[in-house]
């Protein structure tokens, strides 16, 4: 046979062998691989070996494997294959002999360790693979200790405690491994949507052990703080951060950063603890003044997010704010306090005129950045609306809209002006502005604009009679002005005077909002139930179901009913924006524990 003919025959054999191999027709593939193997054994060994195993020709598989072991310089991984052959032949003793021989003979170099460990891993012989890497670690303890490879094998074994400790060993070996270890652990342990972090208690337990055993290794405290923050356990994070700050004799930087995280996660009580700790360090501390101010901001957020803050609580907080403003003066630092003190006056202490006067004095006497001034003007506009100064409110909104036409604060002002047109029954203009704002960069504004546009369209889209909508808009304005009885009377009048109006679900939804403000939660529930009974597929269907569940959970103390309603939410409105939150709350009420 000529060289060309032999080469062509080899190509044909190779093509047919691979075709049958890929089709898993091993009985046909083995015929061609036998010939190919005889010509170039190194190239075709793994394919031929696989075909022999699949066709149960264990004797030939044993023979060719021994041949390769004899002629290969780095052959230890081949002992694993030979051991697998003996396993299939039922010879357990010979099988284990080969595995042990592989571990014993492998040289502690990565070029030989990795192939052998991978061979054991593919055979699901994880303990042998771990033994291989540990042999490598023993020989090169300060250069490459194989922490991540061993950790991955423990994960495959299901030995999470050992896996966790390998990662912690990596961090102890070199502290710069902290972020890599955190990322790997987060991926390995999973992410729990209820607790917002690693969903296995083993990591926390092992970290706590190491902190006790090696208190000088502060990296473990840092790791634990990171873990607690991921799990939204801000109280725990504060305790650990405080201990670490004291141990390191720090200036409180870590605590100030934690306080910001607490605020962004609406855990105002934990934020207050953080700021109080800074204050307790004394006036010499560089964060003392800012912590004193931010603590009052946290107090404000905590108090105003309560269901029924008492007048005494509000007055006490307001007095503390006024004292701080007097102590620190008016500046960009104290401006948040100034605004919040005015908001307390306007919305909680029934003194809107005083609030307006205080903010007007501030912007008259002091120069602020334009964006800060815009925020103050929006608050001033809202307060003027509260006391019925519609024109003054519109003027303030228009100034902000003009100065920040394409920015979120300008779009917020534009929407407020659209609402003013709506309150004044200029529905065509209000709808035009809302349609423009549907493309607003801020999702909340875009959604609010869409909702208002739909209300206008539904109410007067077919019927040209705008009187029912005018009465509804007037009721909404009364709600803003805290004239709840008047608003309820207006809404009831719409039903009495205009039996054919299309505002049924809107009226129920608005009355539910009013009843919640008046702490009449059972009445609010009834309104939501009316929507779900008569208008389940309209705009407020999913809103009504979610908010009803929230009322039962937070105000009516009926957890079982709330759990049922959250479950209904997931079934009846699977596409709703509330589904993710409903699922979280359902699991929480069901008592799902961290695995």
CA distance 446 to 233: 33
Cβ proximity of 198 and 188 under 8 Å: no
Task: Enumerate the β-bridge partners of residue 191.
Answer: 198
CATH number of the domain encompassing residue 517: 1.25.40.10
Q: How far is CA 136 from CA 71, 104, 109, 156, 191, in A?
A: 24, 12, 7, 20, 32
Cβ proximity of 67 and 59 under 8 Å: no
CA distance 367 to 361: 11
In tens digits, the chain (595 residues) has pLDDT values of 444 466 777 788 889 989 999 999 999 999 988 989 888 888 899 999 999 999 999 999 999 999 988 887 668 889 999 999 999 999 999 999 999 999 998 988 888 999 999 999 999 999 999 999 999 999 888 889 999 999 999 999 989 899 999 999 999 999 999 999 988 888 887 654 444 446 678 888 999 999 999 988 999 999 999 999 988 899 999 999 999 999 999 999 999 999 999 999 989 999 999 999 999 999 999 999 999 999 999 999 999 887 678 899 999 999 999 999 999 988 888 888 999 999 999 988 989 999 999 999 988 888 878 888 899 999 999 999 989 899 999 999 999 999 998 899 999 999 999 999 999 999 999 999 999 998 878 888 988 899 899 888 888 765 567 899 999 999 999 998 888 999 999 999 998 888 778 889 999 999 999 999 898 999 999 999 999 999 999 889 999 999 999 999 988 989 999 999 999 999 999 999 899 999 989 988 887 644 3
Nearest to 77 by CA among 108, 102, 50: 102
Task: Enumerate the β-bridge partners of residue 197.
Answer: 192
Residues 6+ apart with CB under 8 A from 199: 189, 190, 191, 192, 594, 595
- pLDDT at position 367 is 81
| Tokens 């889209």, located at residue | 461
CA distance 364 to 377: 12
Task: Enumerate the β-bridge partners of residue 198.
Answer: 191
Burial code of 508-523, b = ≥16 C-beta within 10 A, e = fewer? bbbbbbbbbeeebbee
Q: What kind and span of H or E run contains 198?
A: strand 197-198
Is 560 within a domain?
A: yes
Is 538 within a domain?
A: yes
- pLDDT at position 2 is 47
Tell me how long the chain is: 595
Q: What kind and span of H or E run contains 271?
A: helix 268-280
Is 543 within a domain?
A: yes
Q: Give the per-residue SS3 of 27-82.
A: HHHHHHHHHHHHHCHHHHHHHHHHHHHHCCCHHHHHHHHHHHHHHCCCCHHHHHHH
Is 175 within a domain?
A: no
Is 573 within a domain?
A: yes
Q: Two tokens at 144?
A: 């490459």
Find the domain containing 570 and state its range: 503-595
Cβ proximity of 37 and 64 under 8 Å: yes
Is 528 within a domain?
A: yes
| Tokens 């303990």, located at residue | 127
The HSE-up count of residue 398 (CA atoms within 13 Å, CB side) is 8
CA distance 308 to 478: 21
The HSE-up count of residue 284 (CA atoms within 13 Å, CB side) is 2
| Tokens 């593919």, located at residue | 122
CA distance 394 to 391: 5
CA distance 204 to 228: 8
Domains: count for the chain: 1
Rounded to two decimals, what is the model's pTM?
0.74
Cβ proximity of 171 and 181 under 8 Å: yes
Is 580 within a domain?
A: yes
The interaxial angle of helices 443-460 and 504-517, nearest 10 deg, is 130
Cβ proximity of 400 and 413 under 8 Å: yes
Q: What kind and span of H or E run contains 195?
A: none
Q: Two tokens at 561?
A: 């009913």
CA distance 223 to 199: 15
Is 159 within a domain?
A: no
- pLDDT at position 42 is 86
């Amino acid at each position: 046979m000529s060289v060309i003919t032999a080469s062509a025959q080899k190509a044909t054999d190779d093509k047919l062998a691979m075709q049958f191999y890929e089709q898993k027709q091993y009985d046909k593939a083995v015929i061609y691989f036998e010939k190919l193997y005889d010509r170039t054994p190194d190239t075709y060994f793994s394919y031929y070996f696989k075909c022999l195993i699949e066709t149960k020709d264990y004797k030939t598989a044993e023979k060719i494997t021994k041949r390769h072991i004899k002629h290969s310089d780095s052959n230890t991984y081949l002992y694993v294959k030979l051991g697998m052959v003996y396993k299939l032949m039922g010879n357990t003793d010979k099988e284990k002999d080969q595995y042990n021989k592989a571990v014993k003979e492998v040289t502690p170099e990565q070029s030989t360790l990795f192939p052998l460990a991978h061979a054991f891993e593919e055979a699901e012989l994880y303990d042998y693979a771990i033994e291989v890497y540990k042999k490598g670690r023993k020989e090169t303890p300060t250069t490459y200790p194989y922490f991540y490879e061993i950790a991955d094998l423990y994960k495959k074994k299901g030995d999470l405690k050992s896996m966790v400790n390998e990662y912690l060993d990596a961090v102890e070996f070199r502290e710069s491994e902290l972020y890599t270890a955190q990322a790997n652990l987060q991926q390995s342990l999973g992410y729990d949507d209820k607790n917002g972090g690693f969903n296995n208690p083993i990591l926390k337990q092992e970290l706590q052990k190491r902190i006790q055993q090696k208190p000088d290794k502060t990296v473990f405290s840092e790791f634990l703080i990171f873990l607690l923050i991921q799990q939204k356990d801000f109280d725990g994070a504060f305790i650990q951060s405080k201990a670490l700050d004291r141990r390191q004799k720090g200036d409180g930087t870590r605590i100030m950063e934690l306080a910001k995280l607490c605020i962004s996660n609406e855990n105002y009580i934990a934020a207050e603890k953080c700021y109080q700790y800074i204050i307790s360090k004394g006036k010499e501390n560089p964060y003392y003044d800012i912590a004193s101010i931010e603590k009052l901001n946290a107090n404000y957020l905590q108090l105003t997010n309560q269901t029924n803050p008492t007048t005494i609580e509000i007055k006490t907080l307001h007095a503390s704010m006024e004292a701080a403003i007097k102590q620190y003066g008016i500046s960009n630092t104290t401006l948040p306090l100034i605004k919040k003190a005015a908001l307390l006056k306007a919305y909680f202490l029934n003194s809107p005129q005083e609030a307006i006067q205080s903010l007007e004095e501030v912007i008259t006497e002091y120069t602020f950045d334009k964006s800060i001034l815009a925020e103050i003007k929006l608050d001033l506009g809202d307060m003027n609306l509260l006391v019925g100064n519609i024109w003054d409110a519109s003027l303030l909104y228009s100034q902000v809209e003009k100065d920040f036409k394409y920015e979120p604060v300008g779009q917020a002002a534009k929407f407020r002006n659209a609402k003013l047109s709506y309150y004044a029954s200029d529905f065509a203009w209000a709808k035009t502005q809302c349609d423009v704002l549907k493309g607003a960069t801020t999702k909340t504004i875009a959604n609010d604009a869409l909702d208002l546009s739909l209300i206008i369209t539904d109410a007067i889209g077919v019927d040209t009679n705008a009187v029912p909508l005018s009465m509804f808009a007037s009721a909404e304005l009364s709600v803003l002005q805290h004239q709840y009885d008047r608003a309820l009377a207006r809404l009831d009048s719409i039903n009495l005077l205009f039996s054919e109006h299309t505002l049924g679900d809107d009226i129920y939804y608005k009355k539910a909002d009013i009843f919640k403000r008046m702490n009449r939660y059972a009445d609010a529930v009834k309104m939501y139930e009316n929507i779900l009974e008569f208008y389940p597929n309209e705009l407020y269907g999913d809103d009504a179901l979610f908010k009803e569940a929230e009322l039962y959970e937070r105000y009516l103390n009926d957890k079982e009913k709330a759990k049922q309603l959250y479950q209904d939410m997931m079934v009846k409105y699977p596409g709703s924006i509330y589904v993710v939150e409903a699922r979280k709350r359902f699991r929480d009420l069901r008592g799902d524990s961290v695995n």
